[in-house]
Structure 1
Amino acid sequence: MNKVKRIVLSGGGTGGHIYPALALYRVLKEKADVEVLYIGTQRGLESQIVPREGMPFKAVEITGLKRSISIDNLKLIFKLFNSTRKAKQMIRDFQPDIVLGTGGYVCGPVLLAASMLKVPTIIHEQNSVAGITNKFLARFVNKIAVCFEEAGHQFGKNQHKVILTGNPRGQEVISTPPMPQCLSEQFGLKDDQPTVLIFGGSRGAPAINQAGIESLDKWLTANYQVIIATGQSHFQELNEETVEKINESSNVRIVPYIDDMPSVFQAIDLVVCRAGATTLTELTALGLPSILIPSPYVTDNHQEHNALSLVKKKAAVMIKESELNGQSLFQKVNQLMLASKELKAMSQAAKGMGITDASDRIIQMMNELV
């Protein structure tokens, strides 16, 4: 029986912090009659995404800590005090049974306020390298949910609070019904042909796009299909006539964006992508082999650490962006697509890492704390 009736969710800045919270929210709504309040910032993506979900949304003002001595850090202390005070009032007004944070700077004042009010708290860490906010909050919260075993060791004296739950996004993806005609309906490709998807996240990645497009002549003569999703802004930079010509071919498509990624994932054989936590959760839940190209532009190089978690289990291979070009990408894709046994072994290894009941595990944690 679900004891939790009123919940505050918090997390923001990037989709990687927001989508796990939304996935958990959907499962909660299916399982019980719950009321949920989301606290984020007006600047973050959550201010646009969360209200579209039909969830009540409130905002506090907070920014990140600079990694050098700066007057901005003095201002941050003042902002943290004010935003914690504001979050305390929101929590008092809503009277939640529990507060859960999925990462991002906004979780600092929200989870701190909840702790001060003696409301049970959980933080959820998606990456293999724990974020600075979650490390700060570890001493104050009741429980710490992690997606990678490696992350648990980074909470020092608070390791006893850590529970491996996985990412709620995995449970959501695995429950998405397969679409047998997905490739033909969405891309005009054959549904029974081996297919590779190359993409750089929702906004695209120039380095991945460039490597994919450099290999177009080779893709066009391959005995498998290739989809390159460039990201909307990068798509507009491509030559329109070239794109039209490529998209008239029998086996290659260049598109700006894919709306229903879970359905597409279930229709393909190999993914080339970044190593964001949410994407890796989806890949392992579905048992999908991958070539990971970690972004070198993220805090603490956490995407490379995420990728290595899969590489060590032989669930993926990695190409560093510094080593990425059309030739290196084509060689690795071609090698895997022509080695069905290796692809199958990678798929089994990925599936062995997947946690497909993350939301259920987190809800159980909640009920144990209330």
Structure 2
Amino acid sequence: MRLLVSGGGTGGHIYPALALIEEAKKKDPTTEVLYVGTKKGLESQIVPDAGIDFKTIEIQGFKRSLSLENFKTVYLFLKSISDSKKIIKEFKPDIVIGTGGYVCGSVVYAASRLHIPTVIHEQNSVAGVTNKFLSHFTNKVAIAFDDVRKDFPDEKIVFTGNPRAQQVAHMQKKNRLAQYGLNDEQPTVLIFGGSRGAEKINQSALEAAKNFTAKNYQVLFVTGRVHFDEIMKKAEKMDIPSNMVIKPYIPNMPEILPEIDLIVGRAGATSLAEITALGIPSILIPSPYVTADHQTKNAMSLVERNAAKIIKEQDLNGELLSKTIDSLMTNENERDEMAKNAYQMGVRDAADQLYSVLQDLI
């Protein structure tokens, strides 16, 4: 198979693509892959580091207000379609898949105009603008949440789940917490606002720290590199309990997830795929800064099945956070029930299912 993949801007678009590529190469080691992204996007760092051939086009999103910059956006979009066609004709893919972000709009649209089979993958419970547009031209639309069906042509929809889930589904507990100064035998809470961190979550976790003193559980608080120095300056003036460890970043975060008894964090599609694949109870704090408030809708899909609790960012503070954590960490039966419900929602063969969709179109 010659597979061309495009998706970028955030890890939520990139990591599912990498999971699919990994699965494709497992099934057929002769698979050739080309990834098309942008120079400025996160994909320009992550994809080459994964050893995948990478090419770029230039594109940007529309401004929500009237702006001369939007004329440049239209120009770049038209040019990027032409550039995408050149890349596609040179690589000669059997199939093209887009996993979201502006960049895949040009690539998948260009492929459809060249009569090459195309698929898009929507990770969230609310469709992105690019995927809504592409759904009119693509052959299939793969989804990870049933709630998003209403946003796409029904006859094109295939439920696959999020390929990222399959990458973490079979990870086992291997006592990895000691390297972070924690006790491998003690129940553990992970507080994590995403790879870049989240200011309100970080501030609330710091405010909550005093309430974790002498608890029979421990807390791993990951701030994100951008916020770490500021958080540590504040922490130095406080009495941080010995059962709370603060780190800027955890390399390959999924590896430690089997060690975690409760996750506190955002409700991005990749995070929820990992949480449900492993069956981990969670306290979700959806980002209010995302399109169509889709993280709240993502979170509610778990909350409604008693697989997670939710705290709106506008309500978040240290007292509420520590009380919610403590209520779960002192109630093992409730955590077990949430874990079971989360696990039942997981799609642990999502990459395999998406790969099958591609194969059926070739």
TM-score scaled by structure 2?
0.96
| Counterpart check, 1:195 vs 2:188 | yes
Q: Name which of 283, 286, 290 aligns with 1:294.
A: 286
After TM superposition, give the deviation of residue 240 of structure 1 in Å: 5.0
Q: Determine the structure 1 residue equivalent to 2:94.
A: 97
Q: Determine the structure 1 residue equivalent to 2:336.
A: 344
3-state SS of 2:5 partner: strand
3-state SS of 2:256 partner: helix
Structure 1's unaligned 5+ residue stretches are: none
Q: Determine the structure 1 residue equivalent to 2:17.
A: 21
Report matched runs for 1:296-311 at 5 Å.
Answer: 296-311=288-303
CA distance in 2 between partners of 1:182 and 1:349 (Å): 25
Q: Is the 8 A contact 1:243 1:254 kept in 2?
A: no
| Counterpart check, 1:44 vs 2:36 | no
Instruction: Name the count of aligned residue pairs.
Output: 361
Q: Determine the structure 2 residue equivalent to 1:265.
A: 257
Give a deviation string over 1:264-302, Cα, whole Å, max 9, x none: 110011000011110010000000000000011111111
Give a deviation string over 1:222-248, Cα, whole Å, max 9, x none: 12111111111211113459459867x
Q: Is the 8 A contact 2:17 2:163 kept in 1?
A: yes
CA distance in 1 between partners of 2:14 and 2:357 (Å): 20
CA distance in 1 between partners of 2:237 and 2:18 (Å): 36
CA distance in 1 between partners of 2:276 and 2:237 (Å): 34
CA distance in 2 between partners of 1:40 and 1:16 (Å): 14
CA distance in 2 between partners of 1:119 and 1:76 (Å): 26
Give a deviation string over 1:312-341, Cα, whole Å, max 9, x none: 111101000010001100111100111111
Give a deviation string over 1:332-363, Cα, whole Å, max 9, x none: 11001111111111001101110010110011
Report matched runs for 1:290-369 at 5 Å.
Answer: 290-369=282-361
CA distance in 1 between partners of 2:205 and 2:235 (Å): 14
Matching residue's letter, 2:158: I
After TM superposition, give the deviation of residue 259 of structure 1 in Å: 1.0
Q: Name which of 126, 129, 137 aligns with 1:140.
A: 137
Give a deviation string over 1:117-173, Cα, whole Å, max 9, x none: 100000000110100000000010000001100011111xx1210111011110001
3-state SS of 1:106 partner: helix
- Return closer, same or farther for 1:37/1:193 CA change in 2, 3 Å cut-off: same
CA distance in 2 between partners of 1:137 and 1:251 (Å): 49
- Return closer, same or farther for 1:239/1:201 CA change in 2, 3 Å cut-off: closer
Q: Name which of 139, 154, 169 aligns with 1:159.
A: 154
After TM superposition, give the deviation of residue 67 of structure 1 in Å: 2.7
Q: Determine the structure 2 residue equivalent to 1:172.
A: 167
3-state SS of 1:141 partner: coil
| Counterpart check, 1:282 vs 2:274 | yes
After TM superposition, give the deviation of residue 194 of structure 1 in Å: 1.0
Matching residue's letter, 2:177: L
